[in-house]
Structure 1
Amino acid sequence: METRHFLAAFPAHPSVSKVNESLDLIKTKLKANQYLIAAVLPLSGPLSTFSTDVLQGIQLAVERAREQPGSPPVGLIVKDHDADRQGFLDDLSTLLHEDRPLIVIGPMLSKNLPVMAEMAQKTRIPLITPAATLPNVRRMGNYLFSTALTYGMQAERIATYAAKEQGYRRFCILYPDTVYGRELARLFAQEVRRLDGEIIAMEAFKEGDTNFAPQIQRLKAEDLKKYGLAVPVEVTNPTGKPLSRNEKRVLYTPGFDAIFIPSRSKEIGLLAAQRAFHDIKAPLLGTNGWNSQDFARTADRAVDGATFVDGFFIDSPNPGVQEFVQRHQKRFESPPSLFTMQGYDAARIAIDGIRHGATSGDALHEYLATSRNLPTLTGPAGFGPDGALHRPLFLLQVKQGKFVQLN
């Protein structure tokens, strides 16, 4: 879009004719691709790293489609929207009305959804956000879809695993006092109750805390009021004499089945060790904030057996995932991320719709809204009434310094 701004600001510049020739050449090349996908991402701002990951996923999907015999001619337009609001609106309007892509992939942030959703609705061009975690994006317009991993998806999957697959009924929650922690704690508690489970206690801690003893002690106190047991243990000290009252141990048996900790990986190791110190042997459950290879390598035995959920697992034995990882490594000389996968799925789904004859905005919208066998890296999926892509998630467990896929 800087080119158009240059032409408008300097119409008499000696380079104008060359710039116009370049623009005409680009337009000719784009028209050779009958069906256009537009990526509208903040590639030059503070979110550039994540946006680049998304773009690389989109590029892989387009390149993969071009390699397949009989694939429809698909082109990719990339726009950087890290500009002032009015400039962004002008650029987006020009893109939708002049280039007429079949679909737009973007934006990254939930706060940018309303204006883009409104334009998508007016132009009848579907919009897929690859990263905005706002729940129920469809309330902004029925042309809006999302391939992002939402908090609700994580809470539902880990709660279902705990309650239905493990038979757990009672839970405690330890969560960081952040938007991420508060929302996941709330959603997990909601899912547990929906599954006829019970929340014994919930305790928050400040992000960056290293001492969790006060929160753990309050959890124990609440549990002891309900189902927990505290039994004095008669033991002797090394001299063989009976212990004094202050030295006597109390054996605590938790009345709950598991602790849910929607935190980042750096806090889990400390929490797990302090949990063991306070005689809490209940297993740990978590979310995608745990998914760090450093965490897996440095975690001690206190974390072994802990289980969490994520939308992407780079070491998955799934052949489709491994092919994707290898292709990305070869093309970009770096490993893909969750954002890469979400961009890849968005583009791949769009291309699949075009391949099935959805060659207009309305037709592609209908295909996305009604298909329940859309191709994603983790298996067949479909968009729900909320506009979110409901695909299989990964259940991962910590075992001897490694993450192991359970499903």
Structure 2
Amino acid sequence: MRAQQLGVPILSLSRAEGLTQIGEYVFRDMPTNSAQARAIAQYAQKKLGVRSFGILQPDSSYGEEVTRYFWDALEAGGSAVTAYDHYPQRTTTFKPFVQRLVGRTQEDLEGRKEFSDEAEKIKQQITNPYQQRRALTALRNQSAPVVDFDALFIPDSARTVRLIAPAIAAEDVITSGCDQRELEVVRKTTRNEKNLRPVQLLGTNLWNNADLVDERIGAAKYVQCSIFADSFFAQSQRRATRKFVEDYDAAYHRAPGFLEAHAYDGAAILRKVVEERRPQSRDEMRNALAGMGRAFDGATGDTVFGRDREAQKPLFWLWINRGTIQEFDPEGPPPVPPAPDARTGSR
């Protein structure tokens, strides 16, 4: 990097991994994908008590990168990935991928003795091809999914998740564990009440999009109770965040995004350092940034730089509650029920 070669302090908004390792003049004010993936994994393990995870990822550089960091964090925390599948980019039909996750492909079902025995009876007793096909289809639909995970991580965009979530519901996987009314309806109508195992959906900052909860699209109810995190949330009630959003809206007549918020904070941090520390050289500027001391209260949170010159700031923790994306305190009680094993105290 040219700035490092010239000894000029630079404050980057890039997410590229290892950026600040280039040299002592490189600072960053943007959470990396690895930091966000680790945060989600750690929250699910420590606060929700999840020990078994499923992962459904896109075949993209982003999906592969975030999944790798998420999986590493699970292993570091002593948890396991018990179901995994991936899908090509631009896929619009997710049924086969979800079926593989929960053991409901034709091959999976034929491997179940109970299913194969019943299917053989149908073939012997019903000779009419049309009626036989209908009976076999009904048998398949009655076969419960094999849900051996308590949370499902999907590192993809809100637009894609809008297609995946209904496909998950179509395989009789319950993802609305925080909605007691919905669970009660499921308990009364399901044929597999004893083995009912709600799954917690987990996402990334890409889920922070109003389109995901737009009830006119029809997928909103399937992402109810989902949890994810972002580096900025325009609807936050934090004082500094709210003031920035109001000022930005007044100036540009629209809500700011994460990039505008981080750019604003980056500029404000540099201004604060220059006005308070009055650095007279490049080295003094670098030292002033590295030794800010008191955290800067900005639109994206309280910011201070660590020894690695990475910004140390909390994420905005979000969940979906009845058609809206809402912020919650990660240090407080979780907004959703813990995993079944966590409720009973077992591991």
- Note whether the superposition's TM-score is higher than 0.5: yes
Q: Distance in 1 between matches of 2:158 and 2:276?
A: 42
Q: Give, in angstroms, the shift of residue 369 of structure 1.
A: 2.0
Residues 1:314 and 1:255: Cα distance change in structure 2 (over 3 Å) = same
Equivalence map 1:289-300=2 (5 Å): 289-298=206-215, 299-300=219-220
Instruction: Give the aligned partner of residue 101 of structure 2.
Output: 219
1:247 aligns to 2:141 (yes or no):
no
For residue 28 of structure 2, what is the aligned residue in structure 1?
A: 146
1:134 paired residue among 8, 16, 28? 16
Determine helix, strand or coil for the equivalent of 1:199.
Answer: strand
Does 2:259 match 1:377?
Answer: no
Q: Would you say 1:115 and 2:12 are equivalent positions?
A: no
Distance apart, 1:270 and its partner CA: 1.3
Asked whether the equivalents of residues 297 and 401 of structure 1 are also in contact (C-alpha less than 8 Å), the reply is yes
What does 1:186-335 correspond to in 2, within 5 Å?
186-221=68-103, 247-248=138-139, 249-281=142-174, 282-298=199-215, 299-335=219-255
TM-score normalised to the size of structure 2?
A: 0.73
Residues 241 and 301 of structure 2 are in contact (CA less than 8 Å); yes or no, is this contact kept in structure 1? no
Q: What amino acid maps onto 2:322 in structure 1?
A: Q
Q: Residues 193-245 of structure 1: CA distance to partner in whole angstroms, max 9, x if unpaired? A: 111111123322122211112222222249xx9xxx9987x9xxxxxxxx956
Are residues 1:180 and 2:62 paired?
yes
Which position in structure 1 is the counterpart of 2:310?
388
**What one-letter code is carried by the residue in structure 1 that aligns with 2:3?**
M
Question: Does 2:223 match 1:336?
Answer: no
Give the conservation status (yes or no) of the 8 Å contact 2:273–2:292: no
The count of residues paired between Structure 1 and Structure 2 equals 275
Residue 30 of structure 1 corresponds to none
Instruction: Give 1 or 2 for the bigger CA radius of gyration.
Output: 1
Q: Deviations over 1:157-207 (max 9, x none)?
A: 211221111111111111111111111111111111111111123322122
Give the stretch that moved more between structures: 193-202 or 170-179.
193-202
1:164 aligns with 2:57: no
CA distance in 1, matches of 2:211, 2:37: 24
* Alpha-carbon distance change, 231 to 343 in structure 1, aligned in 2, over 3 angstroms: farther
User: Which residue of 352, 368, 375 maps to 2:289?
Assistant: 368
Q: 2: CA distance between counterparts of 1:385 and 1:200?
A: 37
Contact 2:41 2:73 in 1 (8 A): yes
CA contact (8 A) 2:277 2:288 kept: no
Separation in 2 of the partners of 1:169 and 1:328? 42
Letter in 2 for 1:370: G
Is the contact between residue 12 and residue 28 of structure 2 (CA under 8 Å) also seen in structure 1?
A: yes
**CA distance in structure 2 between the partners assigned to 1:286 and 1:331 by the alignment:** 32
Cα contact 2:158–2:212 (8 A) shared by 1: yes
Distance 2:113 2:316 in 1: 37
Give the root-mean-square deviation of aligned CA atoms.
Answer: 2.4
Q: 1:270 to 1:330 in 2, by over 3 A?
A: same
Amino acid at match of 2:295: L
Whether the 8 Å contact between 1:137 and 1:387 is mirrored in structure 2 is no
SS in 2 for 1:301: helix
Contact 1:285–1:306 (8 Å) recurs in 2: yes
Counterpart-to-counterpart distance in 2, 1:173 and 1:358: 50
Asked if the contact 1:151/1:184 (under 8 Å) is kept, the reply is yes
Deviation readout 1:303-346 (Å, 9 max, x if unpaired): 10111111111111112111000111122333211011111121
Aligned partner of 2:343 in structure 1 is: none
Paired amino acid for 2:211? D
Secondary structure of the corresponding residue to residue 302 of structure 2: coil
Q: Deviations over 1:54-74 (max 9, x none)?
A: xxxxxxxxxxxxxxxxxxxxx
- Superposed CA deviations along residues 102-144 of structure 1, whole A, max 9, x for unmatched, are xxxxxxxxxxxx233323x2xxx310012x1111222211100
CA contact (8 A) 1:138 1:385 kept: no
User: Do 2:279 and 2:288's aligned partners in 1 also have CA atoms closer than 8 Å?
Assistant: no
* Letter paired with 1:296: V
Q: Which of 351, 361, 378 in structure 1 is aligned with 2:271?
A: 351
Matched to 2:138, the amino acid is E
1:174 counterpart SS class: strand
Runs of at least 5 residues in structure 1 that lack an aligned partner in the other structure: 1-113, 235-242
Letter matched to residue 317 of structure 2:
L
